[in-house]
Each structure stands twice: as C-alpha cells, then as structure tokens.
Amino acid sequence: MTRRAAPAKRRTARSRITPGASEPAVAGAVVPAPRRAGRRASEVAIAGAVVATPGRAEVAAPAALARVARQLRAPVRRRRAPAARGEHRPVDIAASPRAVALELIAGRGHYERVVRAVLEAHTSVWIATANVKELMVEDGRAAPGRRRSLRRSSYVSVLARLDELAARGVELRLLHAELPSRPFREQLVQHPRLVGGGLALRRCPRVHLKAVVVDGELLYLGSANWTGAGLGAKGSGRRNFELGIVTDDALLLDQVQSLYERIWTGGECATCKLRDECPGPLADLAGS
C-alpha cells in the first residue's frame, strides 16, 4: 500500500520575516525592528502596531495598521508656535499676504525716485536709516549772480535743501542709529533753522530699517542708508549696489508710519535691553 506524503505545514501569520527586510507592513505581517549601533533592539509600539524584535514576534491587529495608514496619509498641519508671554510687541509684524502695487528701484533709481521726492515734499519727510552721511544733490536752479547751466548741474548739500523745506513748514524727521558723519555735522551747524528744531534728529542704536515717507503718500523701503553712495548720488563706479521698493499703498504706509512713530516716541524703551549703549532714551525726548 502506497503511503501518502505528509502535507506540508502551512506558514502562519506568526512566521518570522527575515531580519532586515524592508517590506511595508500589511495586515497580519510582522515588521522587524531596525538595529541601532551600540544599542540593543527592543520592542516598540507605535499607534497600536507592534514591531518585532529578534526572538519575539507579535501580530499587529488589522484595525491598528489601518489607523497607522490613515495617520501617514493625513496632511501635516503646521501650528504656529504660541508667542511667549510678554514677547509679542507692536514692532513684531507678520502681515497677511495681499496684492500691492509697487516699483522696484536700484542704483541711480534711488536718487531719481526717493531723493527727488524728498526735495519736492509739501508737508512731511520721515527718514529712518542706520548711517547718516553728507549727501550732495544736484541744483541746476538759477541763483543771484549765477547763470543757470543746462549742461552741468552744480551741487549743494541736501541739508541746504532741507532748510528750504523747513522754512516752508515741512516737518522733517531723521531717525538713525549711528552718529552722523563729521561732514554732515559740520554742514548742519551752518543751518540754525535746522539745528533749532527744523530737522528733528533722534538716535536709537537698534534702528537698522531704511525707510523714507514723503507727505504720508510715498513710501520707500529698501537697503539704502541716508548716504550719497546708498542713494545713488555718487558716480556709477562708486555708488553701492542697493535695492528697494517705492509704493503709495495706503495700508502699507499706515503700518510703516505706525512702527516708525512707536520707535520715535520711545514706545520700546521700557523693555529695551541695550540701555547701556543708548545715547539717551527716546521716551525722555518724547516727554520733554
């Protein structure tokens, strides 16, 4: 009588997978835990799915694996980290994106759009800069005893032109971080009207923004300091490489002027940690 061969044993879900295999986990499969250098592998449970270690295996429940799969497919939601108490201040701004009409300017464009707008101001000029240096501007206007030249313009200090604006009642503000250059200071004392308040200067070592607001209607934001090299007043081979934007967007003007006013009036002085470097709290000037 011929004997039948014994049936082969069926592999069960508890069979071990070759260590180091990288196949994805499926219902009833066992996933080996990766070995880490210098550490002994141990059993780790993630969202109900059991990972096997050498010598031991567990079957992950299909429901648990399905739950893990859903978690992996779900989009990651990034939550904005909550601001620490007392850290959020009016000078910390992250405005919502929106469309804004603006002009990009570079190099000589700073002189043509920003400096000329300042010289033609009617009501106010607010300037914020880290550095302040003497700035020479073109002046082709006729003057007593001098014939007007159409070929070549003469140059005068921008302070002489600002003095003319002050005489017409234009409000002039200059917010800066560093001590103005010696040529600037020497030129300034030649204009008593500016020294007497026609040009208000306030210094804060934390100021690094570069902004110019003219008549509350034109705004410049960019990299240029209030210097000839920065604002395109020097020759093409000597001026800085600068970039900026000019806009008349009302909301942006309001936001920048609000920030400027807070710094100007010393709104941040009470919490400033650089008082030792400060030439004098702006809050004291605002209260005087």
What separation, in Å, do the N-terminal and C-terminal C-alpha atoms of the chain show? 120
Is residue 54 a part of any domain in this protein?
no
Task: Write out the residue range of the structural domain in which residue 114 sits.
Answer: 103-287
CA distance 63 to 67: 6
Residues 154-204: tens digit of each pLDDT: 899 999 999 999 999 999 999 999 999 999 999 999 999 999 999 999 999
Asked whether residue 23 is domain-assigned, the answer is: no
**pLDDT digit string, tens, across residues 89-124:** 788 989 999 999 999 999 999 999 999 999 999 999
Domain tally, the chain:
1
Tokens representing residue 137 in the block: 């501007």
Residue 179 within a domain? yes
Element (H, E) at 80: none
Q: How far apart are CA 58 and CA 185, in angstroms?
A: 82
Could you report the per-residue pLDDT of 46-105, keeping only the tens digit for each?
Answer: 444 444 444 544 555 677 777 777 777 766 555 554 445 556 678 898 999 999 999 999
Tell me the Cα Rg of the chain.
Answer: 35
Structure tokens, 181? 């250059």
Give the pLDDT score at 281.
79
pTM: 0.67
**Domain-located, residue 66:** no
CATH number at residue 262: 3.30.870.10
Q: Within a domain: residue 176?
A: yes
Mean pLDDT of all residues in 235-255: 96
Is 249 part of any domain?
yes
Query: How far is residue 186's CA from residue 169's CA, in Å, rounded to a whole number?
Result: 23
Task: Give the Cα separation of 226 and 181 in Å (integer).
Answer: 11
Helices (H), the chain: 62-73, 109-110, 116-119, 158-167, 182-188, 192-193, 250-264, 282-287
Q: Would you place residue 5 in the very low, low, confident or very high pLDDT band (cuts 50, 70, 90)? A: low
Give domain status of residue 128, yes or no: yes
pLDDT band at 282 (very low <50, low <70, confident <90, very high): confident
Which of 200, 199, 215, 224 is closest to 129 using CA atoms?
224
Tokens of 211: 């902004």
Q: Is residue 259 part of a domain?
A: yes
